[in-house]
Structure 1
Amino acid sequence: MRRTSVRTFVVAAFATAFVIGPAAAADYPARPITMVVPFSAGGPTDTVTRLVAEAMGKDLGQQIVVENVGGAGGTLGAGRVAKADPDGYTLLLHHIGMATSATLYRKLPYDTLNAFDYVGLVTDVPMTLVARADFEPTDLKSLIEYAKANKDKVTYANAGVGAASHLCGMLFMSKIETVLTTVPYKGTGPAMTDLLGGQVDMMCDQTTNTTNQIKGGKIKAYATTTKQRVASLPDVPTAEEAGLPGFEVGIWHGIYAPKGTSPEVLAKLTASLQTALKDPNVIKRFADLGTAPSSEAEATPDGLKAKLSSEIDRWAPVIKAAGVYAD
């Protein structure tokens, strides 16, 4: 009798688990969702996240709370999400640093490709090479000449190892074969504040963080890192137009969930992301910031996973050649 009771209990437990899983997914989300941004508030990735989180929350019928967990080039926030319960209530919105950290960091607290489930790509943001408003060089050619002649004096701000601004700067220095004095910050928000105040000379940052400052004449723009000019900055030449071919980099963003999240929940999140990217306000705000939503084909788990894998392969040799690593 006891053996039968135990057996009945085990069978019932499995049956209950089977029923509760889909039922819970059907009710998802039943409470607010946290979306982790692995950088400080006020930066470009934070801006993208808040726009998308608001639109997705409206579609899902629950608030998506944005939480900034900065530090270690985005790996602290990513690590937190990797360890979170895979219930769909803790998500990560990360940029290209998700790919480069796989090579930059000797020891990561997670397996980049296998510690997450994928929701979809969000956007691919152009970069701009900018400087304080009163910086002497007037165009990209004179900037390169000035940087080479004053490499020990020119200061380049970035948001820390692995940040988009760090990667863009690393590529720029590689292209001009000159190492500048770098000043790392905990985010592009404080870096931009010091650039505006004249405490540092230059930086490379996403249009989501620089467009309004460029239009307002508060900083000087030398080039964009795109093949074509950015629609919101028609007077800023591409790097190739300005005389630096091959200086191309876009900072793509994607949404991730902890590994083991149910397919039903992931499907809801992907559908919500695709709906959010068609929201007129998101489209307009993205355009104002110099970017555009990802296509429906890209805003999928397969689209994001393929992008992440290819970007790891693309940046690994660049980082190894530069000999830049972090513990």
Structure 2
Amino acid sequence: MRHALIATLAVLTAGSALAEYPEKPITIVVPFAAGGPTDKVARDLAEALRKPLGATLIIENVGGAGGTLGATKVAKAAPDGYTVLLHHIGMATSPGLYRNLQYKTLDDFEYLGLINEVPMTLIGRPTLPANSYAELAKWLDANKGKVNLANAGLGSASHLCGLLFQSTLKNDMTTVPYKGTAPAMNDLLGGQVDIMCDQTTNTTGQIEAGKVKAYAVTTTKRLTAPALAKLPTLDESGLKGFNVSIWHGLYAPKGTPKAVVDKVNAALKVALQDPDFHKRQEALGAVIVTDARVNTADHKKFVEAEINKWGPIIKAAGQYAD
């Protein structure tokens, strides 16, 4: 009798939580500075979620330590659905990059669904002699030990793409980390560094303006955006299987009631079909996720697979942070 009463109360409580949630604004923690690609995704998503979720969504930027400070804040937040995390591929690479991570990626969060994928482009300084990827490959081979590869800092999208590029080519380059994409791009434009691999959200404008040399995209299929449609993929250029996209997902603290998780997931699926959200994301070069990874269980399986993919690459590079 006692167990039956407890089970009944649990069902009633869950139903009550679903009926009442949300009663106040929801905070989306973005673990990076305002104005960056992840911040833009969060602000677009917040607008698309507002109606299906029936709540005001507030963006809180908690930058630092490659996104781990913001992720830690959400992992330790009250599991009531009012504090969620919007994070990119760093959710899967941080376990390999940081020795003293303050949370367990697969254990300390509820997975709410994948949002989008952002392709990347391989670009070079405007004075680089190579005008195609084939010419670039020859130039890189002829200049082993002399090539400067820029990135936006440890754990950044450009850092990860650079690691995979070097690993695939078996060509160690001089990695030049910056505090963000803007200074890295400025030095690329000025010719202080040679190449960089970064998100289309950061490179498309420079490619359109002809300020950098564009060599390839990192997806297995060519992109359709006008400025990028003529670029080959690295896969078709000879780096078979090369595929890097910077994805974004939504997370809640572990222990958030299932009724709340399900309601946010349902609202997310509606938001991902919003025409305005699609237009804004397309303008950033992002592709909305429409497959099973929008489901909570599949989202978690995907992140686990990404952890297994990037862990060995990071370990081989020996690039860690405390």
Distance (whole Å) between structure 2 residues aligned to residue 174 and residue 27 of structure 1: 51
- 1:275 maps to 2:270: yes
> Which deviates more from structure 2 when the two are superposed, residues 297-306 or residues 195-204?
195-204
- 1:249 maps to 2:244: yes
Q: 1:319 aligns with which of 310, 314, 322?
A: 314
> Which deviates more from structure 2 when the two are superposed, residues 188-197 or residues 252-261?
188-197
Is the Cα–Cα contact under 8 Å of residues 78 and 253 in structure 2 kept in the other structure? yes
Distance (whole Å) between structure 1 residues aligned to residue 60 and residue 178 of structure 2: 19
- 1:263 maps to 2:258: yes
CA shift for structure 1 position 58: 3.4
1:235 corresponds to: 230
1:185 corresponds to: 178
Q: Superposition RMSD on alpha carbons, in Å?
A: 2.5
2:300 corresponds to: 305
Distance (whole Å) between structure 2 residues aligned to residue 214 and residue 202 of structure 1: 13
Distance (whole Å) between structure 1 residues aligned to residue 284 and residue 115 of structure 2: 14
Distance (whole Å) between structure 1 residues aligned to residue 163 and residue 23 of structure 2: 44
Distance (whole Å) between structure 1 residues aligned to residue 77 and residue 11 of structure 2: 22
Distance (whole Å) between structure 1 residues aligned to residue 190 and residue 56 of structure 2: 36
1:128 corresponds to: 121
2:95 corresponds to: 102
User: Secondary structure in 1 aligned to 2:231?
Assistant: coil
CA change 1:197–1:69 in 2 (3 A) is farther
Distance (whole Å) between structure 1 residues aligned to residue 237 and residue 43 of structure 2: 33
Q: Which has the larger radius of gyration?
A: 1
CA shift for structure 1 position 198: 4.8
Mapping 1:1-327, distance limit 5 Å: 22-150=15-143, 154-196=147-189, 198-232=191-225, 233-295=228-290, 297-327=292-322
- Kindly provide the amino acid, as one letter, of the partner of residue 242 in structure 1: S
Distance (whole Å) between structure 1 residues aligned to residue 169 and residue 207 of structure 2: 24
CA change 1:67–1:186 in 2 (3 A) is farther
Identity of aligned residues (%): 57
1:12 corresponds to: none
> Which deviates more from structure 2 when the two are superposed, residues 158-167 or residues 186-195?
186-195
Distance (whole Å) between structure 2 residues aligned to residue 289 and residue 206 of structure 1: 9
CA shift for structure 1 position 84: 1.0
Any gaps of 5 or more consecutive residues in structure 1? 1-14
Could you give the per-residue CA deviations for residues 220-273 of structure 1, whole angstroms, max 9, x where no partner exists? 211101111011121111113334333321222111001111111111111111
> Which deviates more from structure 2 when the two are superposed, residues 239-248 or residues 249-258?
239-248
CA shift for structure 1 position 18: 8.1
Is the Cα–Cα contact under 8 Å of residues 115 and 258 in structure 1 kept in the other structure? yes
Q: Which TM-score applies when normalising by structure 2? A: 0.88
CA shift for structure 1 position 174: 1.6
CA shift for structure 1 position 321: 2.2
Distance (whole Å) between structure 1 residues aligned to residue 99 and residue 167 of structure 2: 22
- Kindly provide the amino acid, as one letter, of the partner of residue 303 in structure 1: D
CA shift for structure 1 position 190: 4.4
2:3 corresponds to: none
1:5 corresponds to: none
- Kindly provide the amino acid, as one letter, of the partner of residue 79 in structure 1: T
Distance (whole Å) between structure 2 residues aligned to residue 262 and residue 21 of structure 1: 7
CA shift for structure 1 position 275: 0.8
Distance (whole Å) between structure 1 residues aligned to residue 216 and residue 162 of structure 2: 13
1:4 corresponds to: none
Is the Cα–Cα contact under 8 Å of residues 119 and 286 in structure 2 kept in the other structure? yes
Distance (whole Å) between structure 2 residues aligned to residue 260 and residue 216 of structure 1: 48
Q: Which TM-score applies when normalising by structure 1? A: 0.86
Distance (whole Å) between structure 2 residues aligned to residue 114 and residue 297 of structure 1: 21
Could you give the per-residue CA deviations for residues 139-171 of structure 1, whole angstroms, max 9, x where no partner exists? 223323333444555432222222221110011
Is the Cα–Cα contact under 8 Å of residues 147 and 173 in structure 2 kept in the other structure? yes
Paired residues, number: 314
CA change 1:150–1:69 in 2 (3 A) is farther
User: Secondary structure in 1 aligned to 2:306?
Assistant: helix
User: Secondary structure in 2 aligned to 1:298?
Assistant: helix
CA shift for structure 1 position 216: 2.6
> Which deviates more from structure 2 when the two are superposed, residues 20-29 or residues 87-96?
20-29
